[in-house]
Amino acid sequence: MKIRLLLTFIYPALLTSLALANTTSTAEIKALEIIRQSDEVRSPNKPFRYTVTVKEFKSEESAPIRQQVLDISMRFLKSDNGSAADARSLARFVYPPRNKGKVMLSDWYDLWFYTPELRRPIQISRQQRLLGQISNGDVIVTNFEYAYHSVLLGEEPCGNRVCYKLALERKSPEVTYPKVIYLVEKESYHPYKAAYFSLDDKLIKEVSYQDYKPLLGKERPAKIVVVDARYGNGYSVMEYSDVRFESLPLFHFTKEYIQRGGN
Amino acid sequence: MKYLPLLMLSVGLLPARLLASCPPDIILFGQLSYAQKQPSLWRINEENPYAANNIYNDLVIKYANSCQLIDEKLDLDVSLYGLTYYSYRNIGVFEKDDSRTRLLIDKLQLSYVISDSMRSDVGKLRPKGGLFYLQSPASLMNNYYSGFKPSRIYDAAMRPVYSESFWGAVVAKDTEKNSVSLTVSPKLTRIDKWYQSSGNWSATERSNASERYMLSYSDYRFDNNTPSVNVMLGDSRSIAFSNGYSYSPQWVVNFELAYHFNQQWRHLETRRAEMVQNYAFPAELYSVANDNGVELALGLQYTTERFSQFGIEYYFQSEGYSVSEWQKQTDLINFLNQEMKVVPLAQAFDAYKYLMASEIYNTSSKGNLLGKHYINTYASFLMSDHSSLQSFVVLNIMDKSSLLGINYNKPLDQLDKRLEVYTGAYTSFGSHDSEFGLFGETIGTYLGFKYHF
């Protein structure tokens, strides 16, 4: 709660002071490099697939009050040697069993939901993306480099290490969260924490990246804890498993493929 | 059932290790239902050919599995259903099925990745549905109903399964900009038992009794519109256009228009009906004419932020029976119902009634409506406890007969996260000579469960 309050009050002040400074500096270039490196930790530059188990907790209870399992395919590719950048994902609902057949498709900042009962994929509006303790967009990795302008605010201790502190501001209204304060560990570029803010600088969510382990050739977080400011002391844990590279052809990420039962 | 060995062979060829890595999806449906029918125009041996009321037990087991046979190249998708039912009272002669147990191969699909944007599917495939709940003119790959006559599972998930999937192949190229596909469904048999309901035909008769080639194109480059065109060639030729216009993520206007170069379903031939009324006895009463026809559907749909949905649809088909054509059909039924003292004549008339009832039933069982103008309204509410409530009202604008239904589904998470229960009621209203009242006004109710293993 203290962190949340601190961020709520300090974040706007920091942004204001940064706006006053001349920001076309090496700080911005450095910030971009940090974001790039940390994006690469959160998501490799090759198509991959994983299972995410989302558990929702009430703070006083050890057992989750709700659990959901999704099978996620990601094409999260940065522009490289002339190849085009890509940011698509497909989330197939696995558990509870009643949700089988439901699919969420994201294509850059467009998000679609499909269930066999509906005739067509339904576009998820910006408001819908924020519903629930884990929102529709949370289970899918966001490409921070393409989605946000970034500014390096400085360095600060994080756990027993030192982190870069960055202020991120979305490049377009299509990005779900307007502002982010992002902590990235120095040297390793491991994401440590991201605090998401509304346009009026109210804290929405705080995300901690935990349980780093070797995954797809690099140390990556296998657990993400999300604390939603709107849900009191409740929090959610996303656990990643069965992470593997797959070729994942482009047609998997089309509305047509989903409607033809290819999910 | 004759495809069971083929299925067993294909499953048997899979390495055990592979099967172990593909956990199956098994669901058991159980349902108790009650239906009450008012007397109709139809009489067989001067008796009502439908049970006035009856109670049914339905049981369905689903087995589905999806496996990569060759990593990231070749997938196998299997979905099978075993169906059975039991009635507490004797069912009417018009409701009888040859068997009360049935196996449906809903999907037996091999998918091969040709390239980043192309794939090919071969096997028993499910056609892509249209934009409308009542009837989609652009949905040209329709097949016959495969369930039992007097009873079925009313859970929403079972609705598409009851329409037989087809043996065939699809080659599709899907990109973010557009999709183009060619679907081939070869003719493997012909239907000659028009006096029987489609549920009693073989699965191949329900799905592959005509030669069909369909070319489809959808364009996703327009922000708010998704136009599509389907061209059907083969035994029946059609061209269909559709568009979904999104005014906002919530409001969608759907439109579909189809032009057919011949009739889509078998119609009562006036000339043959008159022959029967003149005591001449043709072998068939119904046929498909080479008449051009148009189908049109318009719909407005609203989806809330929590995915509840409300909509209204209008549907028109030029080949629907006019008032006078429909009158000829009911006149013939009345003629055949007259008391016959001569036994062979009475038997011949009864045989015609079986034929007519089956022909009308089979037209509907392929998803067709018999009239010209319809309105459909529907609502689907999704609650925060994951329960859902769906309702619909279909009105035949010309004869004012209607269908109404309501269904409630609730997961019992507190008891078991794998268990859901559902209940609902349906009714058909209309006069004896109306479309939805022709087989007797009906009211039914049901209670069922769905268990995911």
A80: DSSP letter: B
Task: Residue B67: name the closest of B101, B19, B102, B31 by CA.
Answer: B19
Q: How confident is the model at residue A9 (pLDDT cuts 50, 70, 90)?
A: very low
- Does residue A51 sit at the B interface (CB-CB below 8 Å)? no
The DSSP line for B212-281 is: EEEEEEEE--SSSEEEEEEEEEESS-EEEEEEEEESSSSEEEEEEEEEESS-SS-EE-HHHHHHHHTT--
Say if residues B431 and B397 touch (Cβ distance below 8 Å): no
Q: How confident is the model at residue A28 (pLDDT cuts 50, 70, 90)?
A: low
- Does residue A97 sit at the B interface (CB-CB below 8 Å)? yes
CB contact under 8 A, B249 and A251: no
Task: Residue B319: name the closest of B231, B236, B254, B427 by CA.
Answer: B236
Locate the chain B residue with the closest alpha carbon to A68: B417
CB contact set of A20 (below 8 Å; sequence gap of 6+): none
Q: What is the pLDDT of residue A27?
A: 65
Structural tokens at position A149: 């302008």
Largest Cα–Cα separation, chain A: 54
Locate the chain B residue with the closest alpha carbon to A66: B413
- Does residue A230 sit at the B interface (CB-CB below 8 Å)? no
Per-residue pLDDT of A197-240, as tens digits, reads 988 989 888 999 999 999 999 999 999 998 887 767 788 899 99
Task: Residue A32: name the closest of A163, A148, A176 by CA.
Answer: A148
Phi and psi at residue B206, to the nearest 5°: -70, -25
Identify all chain A residues contacting B160, using CB atoms and an 8 Å cutoff. Answer: 116
- Which run of H or of E encompasses B295? strand B293-303
ipTM score over 0.85, yes or no:
no
- Vertex B125: Cα angle to B123 and B126 (nearest 5): 175
The Cα of A176 is separated from the nearest Cα of chain B by a number of Å equal to: 15
CB contact under 8 A, A131 and B305: yes
**For A8-22, A173-187, B93-107, B187-201, which range has the lowest pLDDT when averaged over its residues?**
A8-22
Structural tokens at position B128: 């892509």
Q: What is the pLDDT of residue A3?
A: 29
CA dihedral B91→B420→B25→A95, nearest 10 degrees, is 160
How far is it, in rounded angstroms, from Cα A258 to Cα A91?
A: 11
Identify all chain B residues contacting A260, using CB atoms and an 8 Å cutoff. Answer: 121, 128, 170, 172
The DSSP line for A120-153 is: SPEEPPHHHHT-SSS-TTTTS---HHHHEEEEEE
CB contact under 8 A, A128 and B218: no
Cα of first residue to Cα of last residue in chain B, in angstroms, is: 25
Identify all chain B residues contacting A259, using CB atoms and an 8 Å cutoff. Answer: 128-129
Coil, helix or strand at residue B109: strand
For residue A261, give the amino acid letter.
Answer: G
Nearest to B174 among A117, A256, A261 (CB): A256
How far is it, in rounded angstroms, from Cα B355 to Cα A158?
A: 81
Asked if the model's pLDDT at residue A108 lies above 70, the reply is: yes
Say if residues A225 and A210 touch (Cβ distance below 8 Å): yes
Phi and psi at residue B375, to the nearest 5°: -125, 135
Per-residue pLDDT of B247-262, as tens digits, reads 988 899 999 999 999 9
| Mean pLDDT, residues A91-115 taken together | 87
- Does residue A128 sit at the B interface (CB-CB below 8 Å)? yes
- Which run of H or of E encompasses A33? helix A26-42
B365 by Cβ neighbours in 10 Å (0-12 / 13-18 / 19+) ranks as buried
Task: Tell me how many residue pairs between chain A and chain B have CB atoms under 8 A apart.
Answer: 102
Nearest to A97 among B72, B226, B452 (CB): B452
CB contact under 8 A, B133 and A119: yes
CB contact under 8 A, A123 and B116: no
Q: What is the pLDDT of residue B203?
A: 94
pLDDT in 10s for each residue of chain B, 453 residues = 444 444 444 555 555 555 556 888 999 999 999 999 998 888 888 788 898 999 999 999 999 998 888 888 999 999 999 999 999 998 888 888 888 999 999 999 999 999 999 999 999 999 988 899 999 999 999 999 999 999 999 998 888 889 999 999 999 999 989 999 999 999 999 998 999 999 999 999 999 999 999 999 999 999 889 999 999 999 999 999 999 999 988 899 999 999 999 999 999 999 999 999 998 889 889 999 989 999 999 999 998 888 899 999 999 999 999 999 999 999 999 999 887 777 788 888 989 999 999 999 999 999 999 999 999 999 999 888 889 999 999 999 999 999 999 999 999 988 888 999 999 999 999 998 999 999 989 999 999 999 999
CB contact under 8 A, A96 and B411: yes
Identify all chain B residues contacting A124, using CB atoms and an 8 Å cutoff. Answer: 249
Nearest to B157 among A96, A116, A254 (CB): A116
Q: Which of A55, A92, A98, A100 would you mutate first to test chain B, the one with the most B CBs within 10 A?
A: A98
The Cα of A250 is separated from the nearest Cα of chain B by a number of Å equal to: 5
- Does residue A201 sit at the B interface (CB-CB below 8 Å)? no
- Does residue A79 sit at the B interface (CB-CB below 8 Å)? no
Coil, helix or strand at residue A77: strand
Task: Residue B55: name the closest of B78, B16, B10, B87 by CA.
Answer: B87
The Cα of B199 is separated from the nearest Cα of chain A by a number of Å equal to: 24
CB contact under 8 A, A254 and B250: no
Q: Are strands A191-197 and A179-185 parallel, antiparallel or unpaired?
A: antiparallel
How far is it, in rounded angstroms, from Cα A220 to Cα A206?
A: 19
How far is it, in rounded angstroms, from Cα B382 to Cα B385?
A: 8
Can you list the positions of beta strands (E) in chain A?
48-57, 66-77, 86-95, 103-107, 110-114, 122-123, 148-158, 161-170, 179-185, 191-197, 203-215, 218-228, 235-245
The Cα of B160 is separated from the nearest Cα of chain A by a number of Å equal to: 10
Identify all chain A residues contacting B63, using CB atoms and an 8 Å cutoff. Answer: none
Identify all chain A residues contacting B25, using CB atoms and an 8 Å cutoff. Answer: 97, 100
Identify all chain B residues contacting A131, using CB atoms and an 8 Å cutoff. Answer: 305-306
Count of Cβ atoms closer than 10 Å to residue B99 Cβ: 11
CB contact under 8 A, B411 and A115: no
Q: What is the pLDDT of residue A137?
A: 57
Q: What is the pLDDT of residue A219?
A: 92
Identify all chain B residues contacting A96, using CB atoms and an 8 Å cutoff. Answer: 411, 413, 417-418, 452
For residue B36, give the amino acid letter.
Answer: Q
CB contact under 8 A, B116 and A250: yes
Identify all chain A residues contacting B249, using CB atoms and an 8 Å cutoff. Answer: 122-125, 128
Identify all chain B residues contacting A117, using CB atoms and an 8 Å cutoff. Answer: 156-157, 380
Identify all chain B residues contacting A248, using CB atoms and an 8 Å cutoff. Answer: 72
B400: DSSP letter: -
Produce one character per residue of B14-48: b if its CB has 16 or more CB atoms within 10 Å, e if not: eeeeeeeebeebebebbbebebebbebbbbbeeeb
What sign for the dihedral angle of Cα B32, B36, B41, B47? positive
